[in-house]
Amino acid sequence: MKKWLKKTAAAGLAALLLASLAGCGNDAKKAEEGKAAGYPVTWTETLDGKEVTASVEKAPSRAISMSQATTEMMLALGLEDKMVGTAMKEEDIYPPLQASYDKVKVLAEKWPSYETFMAEKPDFATGWEVPFTKRGIPADSITAQGVPIYVPSSMQKLDADLDTVFDDMMKLGAIFGVEPKAQEWVDGQKKILAGVQEKIKDLPKKRVFIYDASDGKPFTAYKGYTTNILKLIGAENVMADAGVDKTWAATTWESVVAADPEYIIIADYSNGIRNDDDFQKKVAAIKENPQLANVKAVKENHFLKVKLSEITPGVRTVEALKRLAEEITVLVHGRENYESAVAASGILFGQGTKEQLQSLDEALDGIDTSGAGEEVQFVEILLGLLFVLSFGDEPYEDGFLGLGFSDDKLSHNLDKNTIKW
């Protein structure tokens, strides 16, 4: 009997040792798998004036976004199922993301209380820095509960640009383990922007003033993200070199007059929390201001509407730049001529045929162009040059401006001084 007990005890001990070894092996395997997946992910933040290092050991599954911009960034990556709350909806949700947004619990119209926030048992928080100060919930009280906070660099850096947003999206992709999705989004945005820049690359730069609001003095953008993204479509902020080391601040109408912008880009708050200061009211106020009567943008009625979310860090920037580039061109040359130019440029880049180009040119030939303005001349010249570049091995002649191509030579009867570029 004693012998049997000894054998049984020995067998049991051996089994325990094997199980223990197996467990260690599994733990090691799990640790290795976690490491292979790219975790931990670490970053450094400045929160409420303090530098903080944060990290996640695995993809968060109970995230809270305290700003609309970061909410839309997360939704663009398909992370709505990883969110237990959102807050601070400042304007209508970006339409492509509305269905995803509807799946996320709204914790507060502005920012939730600490109790409401913690009741969701979050394992990750993100947003602009302001929600994590005394105006919202102090960062210390959140991080003390082991909840890491991520404020995108584009929302903190004075010199942020579109690439900074792309980096932020890639960081979110790493935090949540969706890097391929983040890379796909970034690549898609870069492709759209490249297409826009190709169409406008030969157009002259435009001088713009960004008008947010006025409380006696106009509030405008100086340095940083807004100024940098507008450069991508050839729009130069007239306040960029005013010597103000801030992203947004007040200026004076006298400074606007001195800068004489060609376009005024107006932030429109219609349908948002601050809906008492919309686009039409701002345009009317500018036109009624006698100080601005001789500003070029005012004289030529060159006003462009944007949502603030389109010219501040977030997922809407590239689509906004595409629209602004088109609207600026239309204001100068007209809708019909813009569309003709786009169609012709499509031919140049392999998206059309010689017959399509000829039909565009013939359409203009059917118009009485005696005394034609620079808009018609602009399109005529573009069509002629595109034909030369696209089908330069064949003779070509245009009646209106005498544009012709034969034997590798371009000819015309146009006085270059008659056209303003």
pLDDT in tens, 16-67: 333 443 444 455 454 444 454 689 999 998 898 889 999 999 999 999 999 9
pLDDT at 9 over 50: no
Q: How many helices (H) and strands (E) does the chain have?
A: 15, 17
The reported pTM is 0.74
More confident call, 91 vs 7: 91
What pLDDT is attached to residue 382?
53
Residue reference for tokens 């977030």: 314
pLDDT at 290 over 60: yes
pLDDT at 75 over 60: yes
User: Which residues, at least 6 apart from 104, have a Cβ–Cβ distance to it below 8 Å?
Assistant: 71, 75, 80, 83, 85, 86
Tokens of 20: 């223990």
pLDDT at 385 over 70: no
Task: Provide mean pLDDT across the span 162-188.
Answer: 98
Least confident segment among 92-96, 171-175, 229-233, 353-357: 353-357
Number of residues that this document lists for the chain: 421
Q: Which amino acid is at 105?
A: K
**Sequence-distant contacts of 34-40: CB under 8 A, at least 24 apart:** 34/58, 37/177, 38/174, 38/177, 38/179, 39/177
How far is the C-alpha of 54 from the C-alpha of 62, rounded, in Å? 16
pLDDT at 296 over 70: yes
> In whole angstroms, how far apart are CA 117 and each of 62, 111, 241, 380?
11, 9, 42, 61
pLDDT in tens, 225-249: 999 999 999 999 999 999 999 999 9
How far is the C-alpha of 222 from the C-alpha of 238, rounded, in Å? 8
Backbone φ, ψ for residue 389 (5° rounding): -70, -35
What pLDDT is attached to residue 176?
98
What pLDDT is attached to residue 391?
44
> Taking the chain, what is the end-to-end CA distance rounded to the nearest angstrom?
107
pLDDT in tens, 186-210: 999 999 999 999 988 888 899 999 9
What pLDDT is attached to residue 323?
96
Provide the mean pLDDT of the chain.
Answer: 80
User: Which residues, at least 6 apart from 178, have a Cβ–Cβ distance to it below 8 Å?
Assistant: 77, 78, 79, 172
Enumerate domains of the chain plus CATH numbers.
41-189 (3.40.50.1980), 203-326 (3.40.50.1980), 335-418 (no CATH)
296: left (phi over 0), alpha (psi -120 to 50) or beta: alpha
What pLDDT is attached to residue 275?
53
